[in-house]
Structures are given as structure tokens and as C-alpha cells.
Structure 1
Amino acid sequence: MSGGKQVLSAEALEKAKRELNEDPATRQVHLDKLREMFNSRPDIKFRSDDAFLLRYLRCKKFNAERAFKTLVHYYEVRKEFKDIYSDFVPSSVEETMKKGIHYMSTGRDNDGRRVFIMKPGWMEPGTTNVVLMIRALVLLMEKILEEEETQINGIVVIVDLSNLTLSHVTTLGPSNARRIADVMQNALPLRLKAVHYVNQPKIFDTAFALFKPFFTEKLKKRLQFHGDEFDKLHQHVPSHLLPSEYGGTVPEFDNKHWREAMLASEQDYIENNKYGFPKSSDSLGGSSEGQDPNTGLKGSFKKLEI
């Protein structure tokens, strides 16, 4: 999922240099170093185009070793969490996306970050498939990670806990909480800059106890709790990016823009799904078309122009 050619602003390039150790003059050297590490894991078919690998280097401040570790884990969770990554295409979650659980801003805050809002309390226990809810979340994150501005600036998350009940907490469970935290923090090259909790119910302590053990120490320091004090939230997130229910100027909580963008990229997801650990049918003599006979790897080595 390349997302097409993108032109970064001078400001974004300067930020990437200052915060992420990115230097256009040596960018390709780091990309090639990261690709060389693929040889240590011949059991994985790595996607290897510059645009894809660059997001991992940026997330790990151009430390190729750390970027490689995260990239390997990306393929490990895709193998381990089979129910989430099975049928991992937008069309499989189209109806789930319409339930009003996920929201991504179409604009950016003053630091160039997207704002993502999630309403787990809008999940209907016994009706909404929690696996599809998680899959929709991850598919959406994969989509915004195509954006170089987002790779550099990161995202801000708002967790709206209105309508959350014990039934929701039980449905989610510690296993799913662990999986969400693992993918978001350790597998996706996502810069999580802040997490804001709003509309916490009395059951909040029970719900929060599910996730807290899986948060990194860095993320724990970036948590903010606002209740229904939206003026306080606006000190961190501009009101022009927020739906009206949070005192913002966006008319409604709607993800139609991103839902359509994801569906339009269906084929890109299908292509990306071809990488990782080979399926049993492939390892037992499946098609090797397009693979290097020496490494078993396949991928494009296109130069990335910024």
C-alpha cells in the first residue's frame, strides 16, 4: 500500500531530521542496511519497497536494528493473531465500520498529527464481533500509516468510554486487550503521541485494569483523563478536529471518508497480505512465482523521492 508519491513540506523534513535522525543524503543507506537484515530471517517473505520500510525506520529514529525487530514482530502478530488477520481487507469490516466505533480526523492538529477516536461502549455485546472491531481498527491504522506526514508526526488517540458496561469489559477481555496493545505499540510503526480518556464511567477502573499492564512506560506517561470536561480536552486537541459531541465543530461522528478510502485500497491490502510467514500450502510446494530462488523473498526495490 504505497499511497502514491507524496511531497513532504520543508517543516516536516526538518522535524524528521530533528526528532527522527532522518537525513535525505543517507536515507537510502539505512534502507539498504535494513533490507540486508532480511537474510537473517529466510523464513519470512518481507515486503521490501522503500516506502514501506521507511515508516519503520522513522518510527525507530533510523535505528535499523530496532526497525528490523519491529518489522519482524509485525509479521509475527499477523501469524499469531490469525482471526484478526484472516480476510484482512476493508470489505470484511465495512458493516462494522458503520457502527460508529471508530473515527479518524480528516485534518491535523497544530503538530501535524491525526486524531483518532474510539468508542468501545458503542460495541453491542453479543452482536458486534469484537474481532471485526479490532480488525477494523488495525486496517484503519495501516491506511493512515501510508501518509508520510503521519509517520513523522504521529497520532493522538481519544478513547470515549460513554455507554461502557461490565458486559463490554467482559466481551473484550484481557486477551483482546493484550492483542490491541501489542499491535498498536509493538508491531505497527505508529508514533502514539498521546491517549486521552473521556466520559469515564464508574466501571472505568475495571476497564482500565485490562489495558494498563500492557502499556509501555513511555505510553503511561502520555495518558490524560478528562471525564466530560471537554474544555480541558480542547487544550490538547483543537475543537475544529472534534465532533460536536465533544464540544467540537465537526458536525457528526462519521468515518465515511476513511471507510471509502480503505475500500478503494482493497487491492493494495490484498497485495500486502502476500508477505510474511508462508502459508502451509506455499511451504508444501505452492507457487514461487516472483520469488528470488536464493532467498525466497519478493519485493520492489524502488527509490523513494521526497
Structure 2
Amino acid sequence: MANQHETIHLTSPPADPSAAAGLGWFPGPPPPIYSCTLTPELVAKARDELQEKPEWRLRDVQALRDMILKEQPNLRTRLDDAFLLRFLRARKFDYDRALQLLLNYHAGRKAWPEVFQDLKPSTVKHVLDKGFLTVLPWPDPNGRYILCLRPGKWKPNDYPFVDNVRAIYLTLEKLIQPEETQVNGIVILADYTGVGMSQASNPGPFLAKKVVSILQDGFPIRIKAVNIINEPRIFKGIFAIIKPFLKEKMAERYILHGSDLRSLHQNIPQSVLPEEYGGSAGQLDMCAWSRLLLECEEEFIVEFCQPDPLEGVVFPDSMLFEGQQASGQDEDTFRGLRSQLYYCY
């Protein structure tokens, strides 16, 4: 676990932070016909970090499209330039890895119907209303939007944990639309205030494995840092559940700050943080992102409420999720971890 993340160059606070939360503060969906929206600076960044060459961009997209049509002819997936670019950028324009990510993306949807069936913002309005998540209305100086999670707002008696996963997935789908996010990635800020034994012990290792698998190997987004604040002692047990499923690179991006906001400010500048996290960007508006998602209802219906795109597709045994029930080993592991949670608590 890292104590420090990549250097962030501080900038001056937004002139009017509250204005960012108004209508149009987040970019709209890409147009039907692809046209690059990256600034010259981001074009250069994509070239340096993602191996993206503007003069070869559409050629690379066509190469991936040809691979899909040849190797997975039964896969009913979007094949437009803007959609396929997400997967190429997420895998640094490695065709084989981009194709595998696309297959994982669809396999995850098939393997977890509780999350992906009838997935649209109106079905998670109760999660949004509880304040479980939001996206801060202004990116950090590196152009990365900040997904703010507050697990303590969820109570197991209110609704199933998978509803939180549904809300997170919808948020990621919206966040990945702008090309800026595809190049810059995102940052997660998780505030564990109020998290107790009931929340920590509820998901279990099998559910944790599914969530981590989707975020690491089944979704075309670059998570650049996960900042954990106000974590209780019990978080040691929570992280013990998650860590076995994290790749080393991702595990190093988890940064634990405790209640030390000065440590947080070394990773996320005060200029983009709300007042409750020691920032200068005004009060945290938990409703802005909720409104934005709910206004995109039709967009998600088109994307997620269609016939199964994987009908007739045969996946290898090594695909994302193996089986739908936790194995005996998973159950034994969870019993041991539950004991550790109680000890920490």
C-alpha cells in the first residue's frame, strides 16, 4: 500500500465552483461519427502514455474491429470508432489485450445479471438519494474526475449491496464517455465515516472478487488512485478481503489517509475538494451527479436494456468469472476474515 501517489501540480481554485455543478458541467455523449475532441496537450499525453498515434488512430480502430468480426462473429457489440477507442486506450493500443478487455466487459454483464439486467439510472435512484456516491463537478489539475464514495451511507437493511454496484457501474459508464477521461483516467475518494461491522461483513469475498474483476479487467477505465479517508480499524479486515484480488499495480494505488486531511491534500488539491474535506470548492452537492444520470435515462436504456449480446458466443474457461456460487474455499476464507473483522472491530 502506497503512502504517496504521483505528484500533482496545484492550480488556483475554480473561479466559481458552484457554477460547475449546474447544467452542462459534464461533457455530453460523443457524436455518432467520431471526431477527436482532445486538446493538443492531451494528444501528446495519449502518445506518450498510451502509445496512441493520431495519424494511425482510425487504422488501429479498424484493426480491432476486424479482429472482432473475424474471431467473435457472434458477438453483438458496438463497433463504432468512439466505443472501440475506449478499449484501445485502456490497453495502450495493444490489439489482443483490447479485444480481451472487450470480451471481459461483455462477459461480466452476462455473469452478473443481478447487476446488469434492466440497468438504468431510475433503478438506482434510492442509492443516489442516500448519498452513497457522487462525482465532484470539477476535475483535479491532471484532468481526472473524482468519484466520491461514502460506504457509511449504506445500511444493509435499506437495500442489497448489488444496488451500490449498479450505481457505480452506471457512473463509470457515464464517466468514460469523454475522451479526456479515457486519457487522464479517474481518481476515487472513499470516505469510510460511519462504516461498521454490518457494512464490512456484508459483501463477502466472492462479491468482492466480482467487483474487483470488473474494475480491473472488465471495464475500459484507468483508475489512477484510490484515496481512503476516515477509515476505522475495521478497514484492515475490509482490505484483507479485497487485496487478494488486486493486481500489484492496483494495490499500490490504494492510499490510506486516516483522518489526516493534510495527507489527502498532497494527493487531491484543496482547490477541487469540497469544504467538508478541507477544500475551498464550496459545499459538496450530492444531487448534481444524480440529476445528470437521471437525465440520461434513455441513453442507458439503449445501451443496457437490449437482448443479450452474448447469445451464441462461447468463452474459454479462463474468462472473467468462473461459476455463480462461492466455492467451499471462498466460504472458508470468509469465515476467517469475518473473525478478523470482529477482532478489528
Task: Give TM class, smaller chain.
Answer: 0.7 to 0.9
TM-score when scaled to structure 1?
A: 0.87
Structure 1: gaps (5+ residues): 281-306
TM-score when scaled to structure 2?
A: 0.77
1:80-119 CA distance string (max 9 Å, x none): 0100001111111112111111121111111111111111
**Offset of residue 279 of structure 1:** 5.7
2: CA distance, partners of 1:115 / 1:261? 15
Identify the residue that residue 65 of structure 2 maps to in structure 1. 35
Letter aligned with residue 144 of structure 2: R
1:167-224 CA distance string (max 9 Å, x none): 1012222222112211111111111111111111021111111111111111112121
Identity of aligned residues (%): 35
Identify the residue that residue 66 of structure 1 maps to in structure 2. 97
Structure 2: gaps (5+ residues): 1-27, 313-345
Identify the residue that residue 287 of structure 1 maps to in structure 2. none
1:262 maps onto 2:293 in alignment = yes
Contact 1:226 1:233 in 2 (8 A): yes
Distance 1:255 1:49, change over 3 A: farther
1:102 maps onto 2:129 in alignment = no
Deviates more, 1:140-149 or 1:258-267: 258-267
Spell out the pairing of 1:62-211 with structure 2 (5 A cutoff): 62-211=93-242
**Offset of residue 163 of structure 1:** 0.9
**Offset of residue 278 of structure 1:** 4.5
1:272-300 CA distance string (max 9 Å, x none): 223753469xxxxxxxxxxxxxxxxxxxx
Structure 1 residue matching 2:190: 3-state secondary structure: strand
Distance 1:3 1:256, change over 3 A: farther
Contact 1:16 1:22 in 2 (8 A): yes
RMSD: 1.8
Letter aligned with residue 43 of structure 2: L
Match of 1:8 among 26, 33, 38: 38
Contact 1:151 1:191 in 2 (8 A): yes
Structure 2 residue matching 1:171: 3-state secondary structure: coil
2: CA distance, partners of 1:132 / 1:83? 9
Contact 2:134 2:290 in 1 (8 A): no
Distance 1:279 1:260, change over 3 A: farther
Match of 1:19 among 42, 49, 53: 49
Structure 2 residue matching 1:103: 3-state secondary structure: strand
Distance 1:176 1:236, change over 3 A: same
Distance 1:125 1:253, change over 3 A: farther
Identify the residue that residue 289 of structure 1 maps to in structure 2. none
Contact 1:70 1:189 in 2 (8 A): yes
1:119-141 CA distance string (max 9 Å, x none): 11210121132111110000000
Distance 1:162 1:247, change over 3 A: same
Identify the residue that residue 304 of structure 1 maps to in structure 2. none
Letter aligned with residue 32 of structure 1: Q
Contact 1:55 1:151 in 2 (8 A): yes
Structure 1 residue matching 2:201: 3-state secondary structure: helix
Identify the residue that residue 216 of structure 1 maps to in structure 2. 247
1: CA distance, partners of 2:246 / 2:269? 26
Deviates more, 1:36-45 or 1:250-259: 250-259
Contact 1:2 1:51 in 2 (8 A): no
Contact 2:110 2:310 in 1 (8 A): no
Letter aligned with residue 87 of structure 1: D
Structure 1 residue matching 2:66: 3-state secondary structure: helix
Structure 1's consecutive aligned runs of 4 or more residues displaced over 6 angstroms after TM superposition are none
Structure 1 residue matching 2:267: 3-state secondary structure: coil
1: CA distance, partners of 2:151 / 2:212? 14
